[in-house]
Amino acid sequence: MLTREEMKTKKIGVLLGGLSAEREVSLKTGNASLRALQQLGYDAVAIDVKTTLSQQLLEAGIEVAFIALHGRFGEDGRVQGLLELMHIPYTGSGVMSSSMAIDKVMTKQLLCYHQLPTPRFDFMGPGDSARDLALRCKHLPLVVKPSREGSTIGITIAKNHDDLVSGIHKAAALDGTVLVEEYIEGVELTVSVLNGEVCPVIQIVPKSGFYDYQSKYTTGATEYLIPAPIAADTYKQVQEAALRACDVLGCRGAARVDFMCREKDFYCIEVNTIPGMTETSLLPQAAKAAGIDFPQLVEMILLDADMDK
């Protein structure tokens, strides 16, 4: 990793936009991060990621990549692999970690193997029968998700069989692998992990009752309680589980682990390896509660830039 002084001599490309369904959120994350880096005196420029990314990086003379991409073709290991081939250090998790964490089914299988609590689940892969999956899933309500999308894109809360069938088809239109998991009614929590250090736990209280895309990215649509007003022992256990989940997946830099909590039982839902950095995003709020302002947060992420060892 480079020191602050060394990093100030490098041309930094903030990779934003991209090709996924989360392009608009990525533009907000990337532009906010870019402004912070420029404010701190770094030689940073925006790279709106296209299919010609390698050419874009070469033409701009990029020496370090700050990845602000969300979803596929950015958070899934593909861009990380390209940067490895080009010998360009980058922020966030490496190739393997990124590709595993974006896949909710793979993540849950790893969590189960390492005895970390996660809701019961079933899934179907490419070519599998949606009808057979629906018939196997008998205990409603259930949550249906495409395995490799974020920001609650394509999600369905299925309260009856018809909802379940339509939810599977909706998710399958976005991803060949569809996850169906037990619906946990309770408190929604999230824990950010920054360079191996755990941040304060946030409780998420959407005014609509469901933390969907609108609730995530509309100012004032959701209340965030920091630190989360839960039992002290549960608070500590959730933080420990977040660190363990990141360790299991091999995450580095900034990551965020989402949980549902029902009384004193908690369940890991997913791990995000490139958390959002918009004005309503959770990582900046958690960092602020830990005494880290936004420019400092962005710089901490940048200075952890590296390649797979």
Task: Respond yes or no: is residue 113 known to be catalytic.
Answer: no
Q: Which of 33, 276, 299, 304 is catalytic?
A: 276
Among 76, 73, 120, smallest CA distance to 97 is for 76
**Residue 197 annotated as catalytic:** no
Q: Which of 13, 18, 20, 22 is catalytic?
A: 22
Q: Is 22 a catalytic residue?
A: yes
The helix/strand/coil state of 225 is strand
Of 181, 258, 299, 304, catalytic: 258
Whether 195 sits among the annotated catalytic residues: the reply is no
- Rounded Cα distance between 83 and 80, Å, is 5
Give me the catalytic one of 93, 272, 281, 299.
Answer: 272
Q: Residue 164's closest CA among 180, 152, 182? A: 180
End-to-end Cα distance, the chain: 11
160 a catalytic residue = no
* Catalytic residue chosen out of the listed positions 211, 256, 267, 299: 256
Q: Which of 90, 217, 235, 267 is catalytic?
A: 217
Q: Is 48 a catalytic residue?
A: no
Distance CA 127, CA 285 (A): 41
Could you tell me if 219 and 85 are in contact, meaning their C-beta atoms sit under 8 angstroms apart? no
Angle at Cα 211 formed by Cα 214 and Cα 34, nearest 5°?
A: 60
217 is catalytic: yes
Q: Which of 151, 192, 215, 281 is catalytic?
A: 151
Q: Which of 270, 281, 299, 304 is catalytic?
A: 270
Q: What b/e readout covers 266-290, taking b as 16+ CB neighbours within 10 angstroms?
A: bbbbbbbbbbbbbebbbbbbbbbbe
Active site residue 258: yes
CA dist list (Å): 62 to 202, 238, 270: 36, 38, 32
Q: Give the catalytic positions in this structure.
A: 22, 151, 217, 256, 258, 270, 272, 276
